[in-house]
Amino acid sequence: MKPIKIGLAIISALWAVGTAWGATEASGGTVSVSKEIAPTKPYGFHMEHKRFDILYSIMNGSTTNKLKYNWCQDVSHTGCPTGINGPVDLLSGLGQIEPIAGWYAHGFIDLSINDVSLGKYHAKDKPYMSGDKGGVTFTWETSEAKINMVLYKFLYEDGLYVDISIEPKTDIANNIKVKLLAIPSTYKLDGARFVQTQSKIFDKLPGTQSYSPKENENWLFYADSIYDGSAVAKGVGACGVVFELNCPNFVEFVIGNSIGTTLSYPADTKRIRLCFFNFLRKCNNESVGYFNSLLGKVNGHFASK
């Protein structure tokens, strides 16, 4: 089968396990994407079901992000509008498995419109290549909207960018919500999780905590004060996310052994952009300093439409 040429990208139409799926050549290097489809062992409610993990590796010459989209196939999935297909874990079923610091491997991001989550819908995927960036586009057709979520990396840059576009199919009655799930630094239960913003620290407390970003604030840093990323503390490392300035409207955290975050956007929002970081094997103080140093470049990418 001949490859399909799209601009600077050469996209292979092969779907074998471990196949190179796409690449874009830029000045000084290449961003490439590979895809692997692997049946996995069923578990829990899905013991007799046909379950798949689809693995994607986005490589940009300096770092690699590995994503996993997990879904299950069975006629008993009566709650799934798409019939027999549906993710088997949390949120949308789309997780980050490498780097291992922070963002949950079985589901780290979701989008909710009119309280309808992506989790009961099965996404279609295709490689995304444009200039000096490359990644994967996931498309969900829900009852409320068509949602495109592009996850990509720039050549030689650390961040994993997420660009979400929303095409409503019905009136949107309340805030659009992006939900995130992080488990920073360790799975051990005796840690001390916290979320840091540019002006405040939120410690582990029962219930939901709220935060309204100030005009010049647009990042969230997730860490553990006991198991930080230093060699002495033996933690894996913190993680973080950057959002566009002056949005979302407000943020909510539930900080336990994991950290759930809800970013709320106005109902008329048509585009949401985020950038995720993993601070592997760095102590918390070093990670925060490095995180701050990246903001100018990330905000510059956000500003370029």
Report pLDDT digits (tens) over 215-253.
899 999 999 999 987 767 778 899 999 999 988 999 999
Pairing of strands 193-196, 176-183: unpaired
DSSP structure class, residue 304: -
How much is the pLDDT for 292?
95
**Residue type (1 letter), 100:** I
Could you read off the pLDDT of 106-132 as tens digits, one per residue?
Answer: 889 999 999 988 887 889 999 999 888
- Contact status, residue 221 vs residue 195, Cβ threshold 8 Å: yes
| 0.85 surpassed by pTM | yes
What is the pLDDT, as a whole number, of residue 234? Answer: 79
CA distance 184 to 258: 8
Region 273-290: mean pLDDT is 94
Where are the domains positioned within the chain? 4-303
Question: Which range among 13-22, 84-93, 114-123 has the greatest average pLDDT?
Answer: 114-123
| pLDDT band of 11, cuts 50, 70, 90 | very low
Q: How many angstroms from the chain centroid is the CA of residue 305?
A: 20
What is the rounded average pLDDT of the residues 255-260? 95
Q: Is the pLDDT of residue 162 over 60?
A: yes
**Fold (topology level) of 4-303:** Beta-galactosidase; Chain A, domain 5 (2.70.98)
CB 285 within 8 A of CB 201: no
Nearest to 260 by CA among 205, 158, 180, 143: 180
